[in-house]
């Protein structure tokens, strides 16, 4: 039996509402919190929630790096890698590693607008 269940995954960031809005456009869901709040929640139907908290001296992770860890990353399934890549880049994501060996590797790595890495993954 589990000792606990996950309530939320929390992202440190300089502007919680802006990062929540990025993820709302990426994953859907409803943002709860004010634009200037120090804490904002994003409620997503198949996930309890993602939360975003203001950290004044935020230092983004580096990918790949052993000196500044990536802290965490999200793996996100997509139906069409090329189309979804264009969309995440238009939202403000940054490409980190797009070499997926002609589709054989099955994933590409990006960073959200404040540097948290995430992967888009081809369907199995």
Q: What is the pLDDT of residues 40-78, one digit of tens each?
A: 999 998 888 889 999 998 888 877 776 766 667 888 999
pLDDT at 68: 64
DSSP H helices, 1-124, are 16-27, 81-91
Query: Is the preceding omega at residue 115 within 30 degrees of 0, hence cis?
Result: no
Confidence of residue 14 (pLDDT cuts 50, 70, 90): very high
- pTM (predicted TM-score): 0.83
> In which residue are the tokens 């589709």 written?
103
At 24-39, the pLDDT tens digits run 999 999 999 999 999 9
Tokens of 69: 């860890």
Residue ranges of the domains in the chain?
Answer: 1-58, 65-124
Q: Do 1-58 and 65-124 fold alike per CATH?
A: yes
Instruction: Look up the CATH number of domain 1-58.
Output: 3.10.180.10
Closest to 117 measured CA to CA, from 66, 68, 64, 80: 64
Structure tokens that stand for 106 in this block: 């099955």
Q: Per CATH, is 65-124 categorized as 2.60.40.1190?
A: no
């Amino acid at each position: 039996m589990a000792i606990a269940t996950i309530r939320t995954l929390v992202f440190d960031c300089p502007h919680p509402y802006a990062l929540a809005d990025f993820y709302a456009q990426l994953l859907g869901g409803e943002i709860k919190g004010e634009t200037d709040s120090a804490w904002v929640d994003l409620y997503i139907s198949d996930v309890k929630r993602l939360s975003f908290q203001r950290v004044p001296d935020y230092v983004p992770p580096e990918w790949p790096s052993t000196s500044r860890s990536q802290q965490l990353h999200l793996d996100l399934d997509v139906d069409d890698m090329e189309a979804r890549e264009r969309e995440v880049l238009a939202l403000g994501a940054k490409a980190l590693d797009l070499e997926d060996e002609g589709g054989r590797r099955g994933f590409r790595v990006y960073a959200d607008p404040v540097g948290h890495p995430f992967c888009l993954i081809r369907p199995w």
